[in-house]
């Protein structure tokens, strides 16, 4: 399940975040790549434990964890600190899969990556190329979002960032471990929750059917959640 979470950051937030990022010192993205992805990774990153990455990362996590659509879709257990990358002309990240297990560099805690995220911090008009291509069972999805929007996709997917041919693509990227390990189970819970939300608008959250469906939602979480 590939889901766009619109306007995680407002345009004013994006301007502030970009001012910090545009003044920061970037380093070679190969530093944090695994043995396969190092062969195909050509981009720049902020040092993950540096001041800028930590301050901006916390700001992004505050906004994200207060976003009901994100919580409904991801059912997050633990989220890794957001990282930041930049692709300038001819930079790219070829087809790869993200590591299944990652260590939080701030706490040394080990997480399973269930969902990968890219928060776009450049407007599409600022650069050409730089599409995030994600393979799923319905074919390859091409993603280029407005600055402030986020894409959530299963970490089990092969993906790549096509070469940037003009301008610069700046983004934040990170991973989370969900309370619901299975993508299929998470999709069912998302559909059910969205249905309950829309029934709450039409027939009311205390209508008999809405209450029963809410019960089913929580009972499925009880059955499937690992916390
Ligand atoms: O830049 C992106 O959108 C994705 C980055 C990525 O796939 C990674 O760092 O593993
Ligand atoms: Fe990746």
CATH number at residue 200: 4.10.860
Question: Does 37 or 199 have the greater pLDDT score?
Answer: 199
Same domain, 148 and 54: yes
Is the beta carbon of 150 within 6 A of some atom in ligand 1? no
Same domain, 192 and 105: no
Instruction: Judge contact between 57 and 29, C-beta under 8 A.
Output: no
12 CA to middle of ligand 1, Å?
24
Is the beta carbon of 152 within 6 A of some atom in ligand 1? no
Separation of alpha carbons 178 and 73, rounded Å: 10
The answer to whether 137 is annotated as binding is: no
State residue 193's pLDDT score.
Answer: 98
Residue 137 has pLDDT above 90, yes or no: no
pLDDT per residue as tens digits for the range 62-119: 999 999 999 999 999 999 999 999 999 999 999 999 999 999 999 999 999 999 999 9
Q: Strands, DSSP E only, in the chain?
A: 3-5, 27-28, 41-42, 44-45, 76-79, 83-87, 92-96, 101-103, 110-112, 115-120, 127-129, 132-136, 139-143, 150-154, 159-161, 164-167, 169-178
Same domain, 196 and 149: no
């Amino acid at each position: 399940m590939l889901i766009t979470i619109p306007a995680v950051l407002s345009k004013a937030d994006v301007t502030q975040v970009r001012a910090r990022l545009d003044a920061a010192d970037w380093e070679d993205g190969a530093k944090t790549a695994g043995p396969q992805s190092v062969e195909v990774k050509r981009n720049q990153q902020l040092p993950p434990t540096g001041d800028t990455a930590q301050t901006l990362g916390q700001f992004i996590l505050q906004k994200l964890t207060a976003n009901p659509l994100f919580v409904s879709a991801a059912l997050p257990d633990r989220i890794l600190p957001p990282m930041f990358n930049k692709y300038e002309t001819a930079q790219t990240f070829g087809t790869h899969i993200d590591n299944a297990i990652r260590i939080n560099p701030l706490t040394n805690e080990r997480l399973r990556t269930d969902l990968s995220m890219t928060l776009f911090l450049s407007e599409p008009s600022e650069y050409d190329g730089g599409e995030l291509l994600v393979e799923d069972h319905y074919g390859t999805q091409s993603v280029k979002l407005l600055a402030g929007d986020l894409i959530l996709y299963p970490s089990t997917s092969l993906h790549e960032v096509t070469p940037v041919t003009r301008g610069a693509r700046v983004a934040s990227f990170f991973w989370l471990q969900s309370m619901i390990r299975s993508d299929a189970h998470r999709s069912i819970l998302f559909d059910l929750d969205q249905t309950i939300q829309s029934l709450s608008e039409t027939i009311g959250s205390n209508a008999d059917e809405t209450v029963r469906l809410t019960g089913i939602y929580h009972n499925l979480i009880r059955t499937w959640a690992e916390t």
